[in-house]
Amino acid sequence: MSSGPRNENEVLQEFQARRERIQVTWTKIMELGAEATEHQLVMDALQKLDKDRKCFRLVGDVLVERTVGETVPAVLKNRDNLKSTIESFQKQLDIQKKELAEFQEKYKIRVRSESDVAAEEAAAARAKEGAKAAAAQQGVLVSKS
């Protein structure tokens, strides 16, 4: 899209696509965060054990027998890689949010929440009732004599 969206439909589609990309990035950050937490729990458990003790580690789909001393560095490396990946996704998320805000400002897009819609409907209903009441009060003027 070198010229950018031109009509209202294209603007709306682009806006929704940007919001979906933000949601996908956020979901990935949450998944990786949970995995990093699991790695930390494993590290906490392994630190208390003897380095020569036998342990099992899942590598892909294969369960591998190792010692605690061999497993700890691998788990540490994986945890650190997860943390750096989370940081890069977080930077990407910040950029996406900034671009979305600029896009919203450029095309004057306002996101309405359910409470906004309900408030607008209530205000419209009150205005309609007020108009009916005003119409009912209009009538024939009678002078007192």
Contacting residues for 111 by C-beta, under 8 A, at least 6 apart: 104
Whole-prediction pTM? 0.75
CA distance 145 to 141: 13
Which domains are assigned to the chain? 8-110 (1.10.287.370)
CA distance 47 to 41: 10
Summarised one tens digit per residue, pLDDT across range 86-126 is 999 999 999 999 999 999 999 998 888 888 888 888 888 88
H-type alpha helices, the chain: 8-47, 68-106, 114-137
**More confident call, 133 vs 66:** 66
Alpha-carbon 52 to chain mean position: 44
